[in-house]
Amino acid sequence: MPKSRLFTPGPTPVPEETLLELAKPVTYHRTSEQKAALAEVIENLKYVYQTTNDVIVLTSSGTGGMEAAVSNVLAPGQKAILLTAGRWGERWRGVMKGFGINIVAVEVPYGKAVQPAQLEAALAEHPDTVAVFSTLSETSTGVGHDIEAFGKIVAKTNALLVVDGISGLGAMECHTDKWNVDILVTGSQKALMLPPGLAYVSVSPKAWKVIEGNKASKTFYFDLKRYKAKLPEFDTPFTPANTLIKAQLVSLRKIKAEGIENLWARHNKMGAAARAAVAAMGLELFAERPNSGLTVIKVPAGIDGNDLLKNLEKKYGYKLANGQDDMKGKIWRLSHMGYVDAFDVIGAISALELALLDAGFKLEAGAGVAAAQKALAAK
């Protein structure tokens, strides 16, 4: 029985110290100790976000944070521009439909990235747009969006820029304030090295004005104004996942000790190594504008993509992610975010080579590993 190794883009591996924190007895959630933990978590999240804005902690999945962003900012019938390049752009669409939002979709095919000029044209055509919704890392395709360019465009208007950073924050360079991101949502189970269960939402002063003026908001649990009112006390309006908050603090301390710039650089190196390996193995990348959190690979002709992933896990212990929906069996998604290092990536490449050889794919054994090592050794 091979050792199991998780390389999906969420959940991701969790550090041992963090898991040990989760093994401790459950404590009451309205204590000074818990408030101190929440205060430090929020302060460290601001560091990861690169923001001085408020950061709200929600007990939910990342989708809960996305719903909070939509329901607090927009009233039914109001207009939003949706920049969608994959399944998680479509998640924004699904949430907005549920709240009766007037959606102006700017869509590109899977594997492509929305271009800043497309956003600029949409805003010019729809000056009554309340908010623009985008995705930092489109995990269904491996595409990374140019949020900095989007921010410059949206900042010239009255609209808000709302970004799904659930699988990007902590793995990709992201400057919430400098890039004019008004609301940035992320989740605990990706690069922040925690099991699922917490979502985080940063809110700019510009966004708070819109939220406070939205008298037709249709939400209760995700009412961000309730959470804002509790921030001075470092408390939450509803029962928090206090054990997860304490464990998140352990992982955030590791991130802060490494340094955010070093964290970005390490993920960039791992992404470059994985991409070099893909090319050396005679495979193709799927994403036009790859991001550093994961590498998405086209399944080569003549190979059953589903069967190879099953063999990769059963025989070699490596769990990679399949494509989603119509992309199932057509792409493989290799995550290298969070509690992953260069040697983990080399191991995953090695296992993928072996699984490809098992499937009859023609490649030189070790070619991918060698290319990854060269990329990692490059200055």
Closest by CA position to 34, among listed 256, 252, 235: 235
Please, where are the H alpha helices in 155-304? 205-213, 224-230, 242-258, 260-280
3-state secondary structure of 311: helix
Average the pLDDT over 219-233 and give the result: 97
Is residue 190 within 8 A of residue 166, CB to CB? The reply is: yes
Residue labelled with tokens 């747009």: 129
Looking at 3.40.640.10, 3.90.25.10, 3.40.50.300, 3.60.20.10, the CATH number of the domain 16-258 comes to: 3.40.640.10
Q: Tens of pLDDT along 172-208?
A: 999 999 999 999 999 999 999 999 999 999 999 999 9
Q: Two tokens at 199? A: 């979502």
Domain with CATH 3.40.640.10 in the chain: 16-258
Local confidence band at 105 (pLDDT 50, 70, 90 cut-offs):
very high
The DSSP string of 277-295 is HHHHTT-EE--SSB-SSEE
Which has more confidence, 1 or 373? Answer: 373
pLDDT of residue 21: 98
How many residues make up the chain in this entry? 379
Q: Tens of pLDDT along 131-174?
A: 999 999 999 999 999 999 999 999 999 999 999 999 999 999 99
Query: What is the domain class of 5-10+260-377 according to CATH?
Result: alpha beta
Supply the pTM of this predicted model.
Answer: 0.97
Residue type, 238: F
pLDDT of residue 1: 82
3-state helix, strand, coil in the chain (%, to 5): 45, 15, 40
Local confidence band at 218 (pLDDT 50, 70, 90 cut-offs):
confident
Sign of the CA dihedral with 201 first, then 205, 206, and 207 last: positive
Question: What's the Cα-to-Cα distance from 241 to each of 25, 42, 244, rounded to whole Å?
Answer: 13, 14, 5
pLDDT of residue 246: 98
Q: Two tokens at 146? A: 């140019």
Local confidence band at 67 (pLDDT 50, 70, 90 cut-offs):
very high
DSSP strand E in 204-344: where? 284-285, 294-298, 318-319, 321-322, 331-335
Q: 232: which DSSP letter? A: G
pLDDT of residue 345: 97
Domain with CATH 3.90.1150.10 in the chain: 5-10+260-377
How are beta strands 160-164 and 183-187 bridged, if at all?
Answer: parallel
Assess whether pLDDT exceeds 90 at residue 221.
yes
pLDDT of residue 176: 98
Instruction: Indicate the average pLDDT of the chain.
Output: 97
Percent of the chain whose pLDDT exceeds 90: 98
Assess whether pLDDT exceeds 90 at residue 217.
no
